[in-house]
Amino acid sequence: MQKLAIVGGGISGLSLAYYLQNDFDITIFEKEKWGGKAYTQKVNNYLLEEGVNGFLSNSPKTLELCEKIGIKPIKANENAKKRFIYDNKLIQIPTKPLDFLKSDIMSFRGKLRILKEFFVKPKCDEESVEEFANRRFGREFTKKMMIPMLAGIYASTPKKTSMNAAFPKLKKIECEYGSLFKGMIKLKRGGQPSGELHSFEWGMSEFIEKLKQNIKANFVKKEIKDIDELKDFDKVVIATPTYEAANILKKYNKLSNLLSKIEYNPVAIVGFDYDTIKPVGFGILTIKEKSLGILMDKYIFPNRNAIRVMLGGARYPEIRDLDEDKIIEIAKKDVEKITGAKNPKFSWIKLHKKAIPNYSLGHNELVENIFQEAQKVGIILTGNAYRGVSFNDCIKNSYELAKKLKDKNA
């Protein structure tokens, strides 16, 4: 059997090992924590996610993997349907078209401008999310809806994010159908399944532990600093963030330089518990605060007793240089301003100085170049920095990569 080294024991590396365990003799190297950004801390009575909060149930490979390893995901309860935006006051995000027209989330003029989307000419070239949203839905929509959404998903801003890389499916609909509304009306007729938020009873680490138990491999706690440490292996997969991959692969100058071009946004997660805090719901996204959003974990999943504030991102990258007490203070003030809740009885923090890769303008082309260079030197790359940032994307990409490697191995 060929010997395969996988560097990085996050969901990308672990799921790849799961899919390849019968085809290779696998060793996985992890420098810190199995699960990477999917890691749950238990502090006193509190279950706190350091990173991944959950995943949507619209990705069959994740659900299939759960079934194969014998773990049942839990669906967020009905409260999760209530989502809010803070724009100097709390506004519930309407979920039905009629409610949207009635809500004060946008001005009447802004709402009318959205309807013009049917008639805006399609553009298939590379552009930022800001350009896309301004062009198709108007500037007010970008400010009120896309700024909070980009903060919530990518910890980034519409200006700094490539539409083609971050939302390829929407860009494809625009190109194929000429308008998003026209495309969505047609696709609805095709019965596209929509996803609901899921996690696990005891958090994401419960899944990671179960996955590890179902993988036949050598698990090694070790930081790989140079690719030459892995000379004894027939194949090497690097499943780390790109700044780590660039260092491991420093002897391949061109590849290493390309990998270094992918920037990461910092994110701090601050957990609090208050005697009372409202609104009850999934959470609140913001438009201009240093806190990008407040996740009301305790109202949507069992065994969670806290809420978590997500701060920083591309909106406030300076967060990576602040000390933890200062970050907690900022989060506390934002929670008080947004919800009125005061004097938390518990607080906790996790600062990721390099949390999430930014899919900047030109990302897809950069990734193509990275993969071509990697192929030239016989290195395989995977992870959330390339073609999809979500937990679901990582599992789907590992499945597809495993298929390719099995075919080559056969």
Ligand X SMILES: Cc1cc2nc3c(=O)[nH]c(=O)nc-3n(C[C@H](O)[C@H](O)[C@H](O)COP(=O)(O)OP(=O)(O)OC[C@H]3O[C@@H](n4cnc5c(N)ncnc54)[C@H](O)[C@@H]3O)c2cc1C
Binding mask 197-216 for ligand X (x = CB under 6 A): --------------------
Task: Evaluate the CA torsion angle 265, 151, 360, 8 in order and state its sign.
Answer: positive
Contact pick of 143, 171, 352, 363 for ligand X (by CB under 6 A): 352
Number of residues in contact with ligand X, rule: CB under 6 A? 39
Position 38 contacts ligand X (CB under 6 A): yes
Enclosing H/E stretch for 184: helix 180-189
CB of 275 to ligand X, least distance (A): 26
Smallest CA-to-CA distance from 219 within 14, 12, 2, 3 is with 14
37 binds ligand X (CB under 6 A): yes
Under 8 Å between Cβ of 238 and 380: yes
Stretch that binds ligand X, among 71-79, 166-174, 177-185, 234-242 (CB under 6 A): 234-242
Q: Which amino acid is at 188?
A: K
Toward ligand X, which CB reaches closer, 66 or 356? 356
* Nearest approach, Cβ of residue 350 and ligand X (Å): 8
DSSP one-letter string for 238-303 = E-S-HHHHHHHTTTSHHHHHHHHTS-EEEEEEEEEE-SS----SSEEEESSSSEEEEE-HHHHSTT
Query: Residue 210 corresponds to which tokens in the numbers above?
Result: 């179960």
Q: Which is nearer to ligand X, 52 or 105 (CB)?
A: 52
Q: Which of 165, 269, 309, 319 binds ligand X (CB under 6 A)?
A: 269
Helix (H/G/I), strand (E/B), else coil: 177: helix
Which of 55, 84, 264, 359 is in the footprint of ligand X by CB under 6 A?
Answer: 55
- Smallest distance from the beta carbon of 66 to ligand X, in angstroms? 14
Residues in the chain: 410
- Cβ proximity to ligand X: between 106 and 379 the closer is 379
Give the up-direction half-sphere exposure of residue 320: CA atoms within 13 A in the CB hemisphere. 13
Quick check: 237 binds ligand X (CB under 6 A)?
A: no
Q: What are phi and psi of 391, to 5 degrees?
A: -55, -45
**Number of neighbouring beta carbons within 10 Å of residue 2:** 14
User: Which residue number, 105 or 335, has a Cβ lying nearer to ligand X?
Assistant: 335
Closest approach of ligand X to the CB of residue 315, in Å: 14
Locate all alpha helices (DSSP H) within 316-390, ordered by sequence: 324-339, 363-376
Determine, following the binding rule CB under 6 A, whether residue 8 of this chain makes contact with ligand X.
yes
Span interacting with ligand X, options 59-67, 210-218, 314-322, 389-397, rule CB under 6 A? 389-397
The answer to the question of residue 255 lying near ligand X (CB under 6 A) is no
In the complex, minimum distance from the CB of residue 235 to ligand X, in angstroms, rounded to a whole number: 16
By C-beta, is 180 or 310 nearer to ligand X?
Answer: 310
Residue 305: C-alpha distances to residues 83, 272, 289 (Å): 19, 9, 24
Q: How far apart are CA 67 and CA 69, in angstroms?
A: 6
Q: Which residue has the tokens 């701060």?
A: 311
267 binds ligand X (CB under 6 A): yes
**Residue whose tokens read 């309807």:** 115
Does residue 349 belong to the site contacting ligand X (CB under 6 A)? no
Q: How far is the CB of 251 from ligand X (least distance, A)?
A: 15
Judged by the rule CB under 6 A, the positions of this chain that interact with ligand X are: 7-13, 29-33, 36-38, 51-55, 223-224, 239-241, 244, 248, 267, 269, 352, 355-356, 383-384, 389-392, 394
